[in-house]
Structure 1
């Protein structure tokens, strides 16, 4: 199977980095992207500014490939928006990879050639069969020696409902619900929020971005109101490490959101697990919780409660997934927010990202399943290790070298009802091992 390509699913930051790493290993990458261009998912939040510097969102192998093309490298110390990430890095990188990247091509299934999920024989000798659908509707199988699924989780946001299922009435209220940070520089979008009552649900960095943006709008547009809805029982740890954060822009984002709360620009409702979205007068809705709390007169709802992996088209692949996080079994204990309230994770690579199906890997945000935190540089190190493993360089694959900036936080990751009573006695932060590193970021994109 060594003459077959390695199929990479998704032409986002991690997928394109995987292709660059594979090419350096003299392997043939073949990237399938269902969108019309590189970074199609990133383009949907192109107005959001990243809290990582340019130096932290460029894959080393990709940089080496781009340098060969005469690429104008951006300032490593500058902070970029999603739009700049696509325009100045992902689009040129896809162009440098040439025909290895195919757009308008959706992967609709992956299997072992000639075998369904039940058949044991041949799973380590037959190639993987990747079924694709082109933009014109034609379908075909493509054989691969290995598959790296870096398709992300952007297309499957978590619902508003506090049980992981859509709240009662959530789908019926789709016209007033958004699952993205609103782009208030867009006049039409701005008009939807100016002078209106918006409820923001979520406690991650996307929610903080929405709070900062809408708080600025509240100062400019009379009648604008914000209610921040949190499932957790405590708001303090939501703002992050502030000045202690080793990513200054990440810390600054939390401080800006905290100032908006301290200045009384929004009403904070904690311990609120949404059970229903009920229609109200003048096209408004009311949100009710499972314990009887109620938020009335809501014009718009911004749901930023995280993401989950889409696994339906992997039904014929033997996946080894944790039943809680839907992340690879070996990786899940290292990133579980129920345990790692510091957001710490051991360095990891091909070994932790592999599955019972030989030659199949999850990478990038999708590898984290439902875990809420991820940095692009984590994904870059993942695909470096995976490419080495596929090439047979097991020493390099095992030599995971990942140093990530500390968050400056020792608290919950968004799954605790109350502050961790054990934190003051150590908890996960009391006796860190020297090999632990810290990461945090939403949606596989920061």
Structure 2
């Protein structure tokens, strides 16, 4: 429904709402799972995807292998849609690359007869509001349709919806490189020297890093992934050097646990730890970056403090693996209840605070924890976790299953949240067996 077709509110509001679809923002794994769950319950949907195809953000890190196997990557309702086609489920225990997740799951799912007509590609949602109401108006709000403004190749259009699920993710909203969370003051002068998290070090980005000194900033799995790939590159080109900067006093989060139920994830941490011990990676712990800027010789100077002492390092490339944050700009007219620290829904935030939880200790949750003061508006998937780095796909699938039951009127089922996860969770990054030599050995 485009702006030219928007109906005036002259019919009873409840009747109008019943004729409208649920709008889903994002055609990634969680957005498509939401669509499958709703369609299974007889609820119409429209999916707006900013990219040119389903899973566009996943495709951006398609060179990365997940350490969660296929059995944890397929939503149940999505699987039932795919089972009606000629799709063959991948081997349950296989660890796919991101590009395989797209090619073997997301693209076939988006092409099913049930979903294909409902997905609008190259359609970026820029604003969400209520028809004829900004966030300050309360009377009749719950019975008023949502209004989504969408930018596409055809220009700007507006669409109505009975409910909205924002599953747009956070991949395009990285955290800042500085300890203050702000962008470097001289970012324009070094933009060509700063890479986003998960660059394709051994593929299309190889020339950018080969024979160079790279600083990887961040203590999570994206940082560990990049460090492992750079270590391979350094074994092939001994001019390549690697420095790893973290703000905290210890990289224990990246090292992980030898007791991890997901073997590949455990080996990941062991491998990074061994590379630091071998001094293949120079660890700069306790380093708080104040600013980055260009040098006369076309490099980057990074200035900060380490244990109270001014510290400076000069490098050729910087990888920003500091994590992501939600882009909330398009939700300015929506009534949100977000935690002041992690920017997740207020009831969810205590369950995912990274100061207390790892990827495997987050309690399963659903519509009760995801609710906002805005009726029938939900943030799901990675974006629901705000700045917390602990999101896992299975949790996102359970989120949208719960939301779908709520929108279908099955409120009791929506609050029966049940999910069995591996002991330490299901996250994604490259497996350690891609590192040659001693670094691939398991170490305690």
Matching of residue 103 in structure 1 with residue 121 in structure 2: yes
1:270 aligned residue (259, 272, 285): 285
- Counterpart check, 1:373 vs 2:390: yes
2:38: which partner in 1? 22
- How far is the alpha carbon of 1:124 from its aligned partner? 1.3
Residue 114 of structure 1 deviates from its aligned partner by: 1.2
Question: Matched residue of 1:283: which SS?
Answer: coil
Cα contact 1:373–1:441 (8 A) shared by 2 = no
Aligned to 1:287: 302
Whole-angstrom distance in 1 between the partners of 2:297 and 2:281? 22
The answer on whether the counterparts of 2:145 and 2:162 sit within 8 Å (CA) in structure 1 is: yes
1:210-359 pair list within 5 angstroms:
210-242=226-258, 244-290=259-305, 291-340=308-357, 344-359=361-376
Secondary structure of 1:275's aligned partner: strand
1:440 Cα offset (Å): 5.0
Task: Give the deviation of 1:223 after TM superposition.
Answer: 1.2
TM superposition shift of 1:203: 0.5
Report the counterpart of residue 430 of structure 1 in structure 2.
Answer: none
Shift in CA distance, 319/64, structure 1 to aligned 2, threshold 3 Å: same
Deviations 1:377-432 (A, max 9, x none): 1100000000000000111101101122222xxxxxxxxxxxxxxxxxxxxxxxxx
Aligned to 2:145: 127
2:133 matched to 1:118?
no
User: Which of 192, 197, 201 is the equivalent residue of 2:217?
Assistant: 201
How many Å separate the matches in 2 of 1:362 and 1:393? Answer: 19
The 1:155–1:263 alpha-carbon spacing in structure 2 relative to 1, beyond 3 Å, is: same
SS of structure 1 residue aligned to 2:96: strand
Q: Is the 8 A contact 1:32 1:102 kept in 2?
A: yes
Match of 1:421 in 2: none
Q: 1:195 offset after TM fit, Å?
A: 1.1
Residue in structure 1 matched with residue 160 of structure 2 by the alignment? 143
Deviation at 1:369, TM superposition (A): 0.4
Answering whether residue 53 of structure 2 is matched by residue 37 of structure 1, we say yes
Whole-Å Cα distance in 2 between the matches of residues 237 and 330 of structure 1?
Answer: 25
CA distance in 2: counterparts of 1:366 and 1:163, whole angstroms:
21
Distance 2:214 2:271 in 1: 18
- Given that 1:170 and 1:276 are in contact with CA atoms closer than 8 Å, whether structure 2 keeps it comes out as no
- Asked if 1 retains the 8 angstrom alpha-carbon contact of 2:66 and 2:428, the reply is no
Cα pair 1:337 1:343 within 8 Å, conserved? no
Correspondence 1:360 to 2:377? yes
- Taking structure 1 as the reference length, the TM-score comes to 0.89
Question: What are structure 1's unaligned runs of at least 5 residues?
Answer: 408-437
Q: Which ranges of structure 2 fall in alignment gaps of 5 or more residues?
A: 1-16, 430-444
In 1: Cα distance, 2:354 partner to 2:22 partner: 32
Partner in structure 2 of residue 156 of structure 1: 173
Tell whether 2:36 aligns with 1:58. Answer: no
Contact 1:167 1:274 in 2 (8 A): no
TM-aligned CA distance change 1:93 to 1:341, over 3 Å: closer
Residue 405 of structure 2 aligns to a residue whose secondary structure is helix
Q: Deviations over 1:225-265 (max 9, x none)?
A: 000000001123431113x1111111111112112112210
Cα RMSD for the two superposed structures: 1.5
- The answer to whether the aligner puts 1:78 opposite 2:94 as a matched pair is yes
Distance, in Å, in 1 between the alignment partners of 2:391 and 2:283 is 26
The SS at the match of 1:260 is helix
Displacement of 1:185 in angstroms is 3.3
**1:398 maps to what in 2?**
415
The aligned residue for residue 432 of structure 1 is none
- After TM superposition, give the deviation of residue 343 of structure 1 in Å: 5.6
Residue 439 of structure 1, CA deviation: 5.9
**Partner Cα separation in structure 1 for residue 223 and residue 336 of structure 2:** 32
Once the two structures are TM-superposed, the CA of residue 282 in structure 1 deviates from its matched residue by 2.5
Give how far 1:288 is off: 1.1
For the 8 Å contact 1:272–1:293, the answer to whether it is kept is no
**Deviations for 1:295-323, whole angstroms, at most 9, x for unmatched residues?**
43300000100000001111111011111
Is the contact made by 2:22 and 2:45 (CA closer than 8 Å) also made in structure 1?
A: yes
Deviation of residue 281 (structure 1)?
4.4
